[in-house]
Structure 1
Amino acid sequence: MKKFLNFSLGLLIASTLFVSCSDDDDNAMPDLSVNKGVVIENGATVTITTSELSIVDTDTEDIDIVFTVTKATENGILAHVDDLETAIENFTQADVAASKIVYVHNGSQTLTDEFSFSVTDGDNILTGTFNISIGEKQISYFYVLNEGSSNGSITMINRNDEVTNNYFSNANKGVTLGQYPQSMAMNEDYAFIVVTTGNGSGYVEVANKSNFTHYKTIEGFSYPREIAFVGDKAYVSNGKGQDASYAKENNEVYIIDLNTMTVTGQIAVGAGPEKMVVSNGKLYVANSGGWSNDDNTVTVIDTETDQVLETITVKSCPKDMVVDANGDIWVYCSGKPDYSNYPDVTYTDSGISVITESKSVVISYDLTNLSTSGIKNIAINKAKDVVYFMSDAVYAMNITATELPTTKFIDATFYGIDVNPVDDNLWVCVADYAITEGEVHVYNTEGIKLKDFTVGYMPNSVSFSY
């Protein structure tokens, strides 16, 4: 006759346990004293030790305590250290004590795994579940947007650092991306590439995210620049482009229905709208002035009603923005350029303006010795508490600081700067000439360069995909 006992253990990671034992008092009941599970990084291999899984049995040797896997892991394998490619079905407490049992994650974009087991000392049986927590998703693909000269392109870099140039063209049987792609963003299903042409007929190329094959072209723009998502809508900032007089002219943000991939409306904003960010249900639009370089405002739009709430004055020529951990908006303002002594260009009223989201209060910091020519000059780390920006070099600034840093984080400037949202590494774009292959450099959070990649002409940004 069998008797059954159900109980639960207070463990670091919850597990299930079922106990069966015989009436034979000569064989002591084993105790599942430790079943904590493990926490590992994505794609890693971890040893399961007695600190994570342990049976204590006062009258049975470890080698005679046998685990049987009753439900295998799904996102990796449980293996013996001598053969990491073959899943095991049985192991002993002695194997665990000798650090012989490992879990090998398969690198999939999963956050958990588990295996169920029964364990016996020959007479008594315990059952349970061992939980595995997998670190946050890892970036699988890095997409570099190259402005090019006559035709732009996309470079794909995979997690093994393998580079594929002309990725979009290769995926579409030689069809090119088009002239001067300016920005790119991705949602769950699609990649949206904003193409700013020289003839005033820009468009948004929509590609399937899985393989970058063409899905649709959204047309009707004159000088599209950036794209931002809110729910089932996208917003595209649109300017006029160069004219003979470089006259200032107010422009618009177009609204796209992501269900139909069609333009459904437009919102009047300032001149030369560039970067857009979203904070607390509001869309912030940086009005750079366009070719006139003569605007110093940020338009704030309610994303529920698509109505302008207010226009905020910042430093001159705002072009790039990030949102910090408090929801505040950091606006990079490149300043009004003076070309009278070209090729020596000077900038006036350049700086970083911080908009407090809750009150629309602006605090500005002056940038001096500005030498960067790009428009993608500010980025923020994963925790959103450190801002990276460029002037005569790359600087790192904590969002609690009350003045700009003077110590250079990287003693160089680049055409674009982005931060990997998983490991916080900086990806910077080097674009010297439109006829020379560009480069992307990767730096860690200590400012140490880790690696380089050769990419297409005039790279300006990197997008990260899981």
Structure 2
Amino acid sequence: MSKNYYILYFVGILSVLFTSCREDDVLVYSESHKISIPQFTDIDGFYLLNEGNMGSNKSTLDYFDEKTGIYHKNIYAETNPTVVKELGDVGNDLKIYGSKLYAVINCSHKVEVMEAATAKRIKQIEIPNCRYIVFDKEYAYVSSYVSPVQIDPNAPLGAVFKVDTTTLEVVDEVTVGYQPEEMEIRFGKLYVANSGGYRVPNYDNTISVIDLETFTEIKKIEVAINLHRIKGDKYGMLYTSSRGDYYHKSSKLYIIDCYKDQLVDSLDIAVSNMCIDGDSAYVYSTEWNYTAGDNTVTYGIIDLKKREVVSRNFIKDGTDKKIKIPYGIAIHPITKDIYVTDAKNYVSPGTLYCFSKEGILKWKTMTGDIPAHFAFKGKLKNEN
């Protein structure tokens, strides 16, 4: 993870963009512009959640309409003009499930639920210091740090909240490790990557295994310190990233066998984020090191069948040299276009890049601040 991990969650830069007022609130109007030729597949387009720097209340939502080639920037406020403080502070995850769009807003302590077709608000679900969301059957599962947003050597254990997707009410919760991050569901079990980030330097090093039928923690798998991402492939393996300690222990990727619930392998590649498509995992890293005082930016492709790194860069035309802080990644389910976002300096508008599956730039466009999380809208097929 980059230096932004600390900038976003423990420092915060207060800045507000004033363009129009409604009583005591600020309303930032949407902008639309054509960026590509229309494309007709089973995918209508995608939403992009911009995190916004902590304390600025500038999380925004963009939408790319694939059928028209038009990119719509900052659609939430205009779609929901009566919502006070708009989307909120630090957008941390975004998913579509059924007919609903779910945005996890970390420092506003809520999950914003919207109509997937229009982004119109349905309801707000209050969950403290919420992080990521996954779904299974009629339930959503949301990881939560539980504690206030601050470094604390005595920060408590985190939790996963269970939400009924029909009533949009929290119906249960289970205690997991310290400062839980991403989750993955396999074989009736929920796997939770625990970071322990608030307890630095005493990081957590475990994955909590939750039995979904009883909603209880049945096991902890020891992996490595400061875990963050966790993704599953179609071979029953989970890939989870360690951010290291930002000094001497580097970021690395670890492989867990879901059949045995055991750590079975590791790959010497730094990972800040990853996206799995078929037999390939596309990864990038913005690895911050306090000794060097800088980020090391890398890219790569992992062959999941062979469990080995097969490429150290999926951007083939040199555009990677223009990307300062890669911060989000997604693969188009049909065309296999590769989307990468650039957070730049974390406090000004970012950039979204679209590359062909061969790694050649097709187009780019300006986004909100810290563009990070994608949710494709349309007929999606789950390959795992």
Which category of TM-score, normalised to the shorter sequence, fits these structures? Answer: 0.7 to 0.9
Q: Secondary structure at the match of 2:43?
A: coil
Residue number in structure 2 paired with 1:144: 48
Q: In 2 relative to 1, CA 246–155 (structure 1 residues): closer, same or farther, beyond 3 Å?
A: farther
Residue number in structure 2 paired with 1:452: 364
Q: Distance in 2 between matches of 1:367 and 1:398?
A: 14
Q: Distance in 1 between matches of 2:116 and 2:243?
A: 33
The reply to whether residue 305 of structure 1 matches residue 206 of structure 2 is no
Residue number in structure 2 paired with 1:74: none
Residue number in structure 2 paired with 1:318: 227
Residue number in structure 1 paired with 2:72: 164
Greater shift after overlay, 236-245 or 428-437?
A: 236-245
Q: Secondary structure at the match of 1:393?
A: strand
Residue number in structure 2 paired with 1:379: 275
The reply to whether residue 389 of structure 1 matches residue 319 of structure 2 is no
Contact 2:47-2:61 at 8 Å conserved across structures: yes
What's the CA shift string for 1:70-118, capped at 9, x where partnerless? xxxxxxxxxxxxxxxxxxxxxxxxxxxxxxxxxxxxx98xxxxxxxxxx
What's the CA shift string for 1:5-40, capped at 9, x where partnerless? xxxxxxxxxxxxxxxxxxxxxxxxxxxxxxxxxxxx
What's the CA shift string for 1:410-457, capped at 9, x where partnerless? 356611212222222221111012331111111222222221121111
Q: Distance in 1 between matches of 2:311 and 2:333?
A: 25
Question: Superposition pairs for residues 398-417 of structure 1, below 5 Å?
Answer: 398-405=303-310, 407-410=312-315, 411=320, 414-417=326-329
Q: Distance in 1 between matches of 2:163 and 2:134?
A: 10
Contact 2:190-2:210 at 8 Å conserved across structures: yes
Q: In 2 relative to 1, CA 406–241 (structure 1 residues): closer, same or farther, beyond 3 Å?
A: farther
Q: In 2 relative to 1, CA 255–386 (structure 1 residues): closer, same or farther, beyond 3 Å?
A: same
The one-letter code of the counterpart of 1:187 is: Y
Which of the residues 100, 114, 134 maps onto 1:207? 114
What's the CA shift string for 1:199-220, capped at 9, x where partnerless? xx5011111111111110111x
Q: Distance in 2 between matches of 1:153 and 1:170?
A: 11
C-alpha displacement of 1:378: 1.0
C-alpha displacement of 1:241: 4.2
Residue number in structure 2 paired with 1:30: none
C-alpha displacement of 1:153: 0.4
The one-letter code of the counterpart of 2:135 is: F
Contact 2:299-2:312 at 8 Å conserved across structures: no
Q: In the comparison of the two structures, how many residue pairs are matched?
A: 314
TM-score (ref. length: structure 1): 0.63
The one-letter code of the counterpart of 1:265 is: D
Contact 2:152-2:198 at 8 Å conserved across structures: no
Q: Does 1 or 2 have the higher relative contact order (CA < 8 Å, sep 6+)?
A: 2
The one-letter code of the counterpart of 1:442 is: C
Q: Distance in 2 between matches of 1:337 and 1:331?
A: 17
Q: Distance in 2 between matches of 1:190 and 1:460?
A: 19
Residue number in structure 2 paired with 1:269: 176
Q: Secondary structure at the match of 2:62?
A: strand
The reply to whether residue 462 of structure 1 matches residue 366 of structure 2 is no
**Greater than 6 Å deviation, 4+ residue runs:** none
Q: Secondary structure at the match of 1:211?
A: coil
Q: Distance in 2 between matches of 1:270 and 1:464?
A: 30
Unpaired segments ≥5 residues, structure 1:
1-106, 109-136, 339-346
Q: Secondary structure at the match of 2:174?
A: strand
Q: Distance in 2 between matches of 1:162 and 1:194?
A: 25
Residue number in structure 2 paired with 1:363: 264
C-alpha displacement of 1:168: 1.1
Q: Secondary structure at the match of 2:114?
A: strand
C-alpha displacement of 1:145: 0.5
Residue number in structure 2 paired with 1:189: 99
C-alpha displacement of 1:247: 4.0
Contact 1:153-1:456 at 8 Å conserved across structures: yes
Which of the residues 278, 282, 297 maps onto 2:185? 278
The reply to whether residue 242 of structure 1 matches residue 149 of structure 2 is yes
Contact 2:303-2:310 at 8 Å conserved across structures: no
Unpaired segments ≥5 residues, structure 2:
1-38, 286-296, 379-384
Alignment identity in percent? Answer: 27
C-alpha displacement of 1:242: 3.4
Contact 2:303-2:309 at 8 Å conserved across structures: no
Higher Rg of the two aligned structures: 1
Q: Distance in 2 between matches of 1:402 and 1:165?
A: 38
C-alpha displacement of 1:356: 1.1
Q: Distance in 1 between matches of 2:312 and 2:349?
A: 31
Contact 1:315-1:349 at 8 Å conserved across structures: no
Contact 2:302-2:311 at 8 Å conserved across structures: no
Q: In 2 relative to 1, CA 247–440 (structure 1 residues): closer, same or farther, beyond 3 Å?
A: farther
C-alpha displacement of 1:174: 6.2
Quote the RMSD (CA, aligned, Å). Answer: 2.2
Q: Distance in 1 between matches of 2:245 and 2:267?
A: 13
Contact 1:335-1:351 at 8 Å conserved across structures: yes
Question: Superposition pairs for residues 222-233 of structure 1, below 5 Å?
Answer: 222-233=128-139
Q: Secondary structure at the match of 1:319?
A: strand
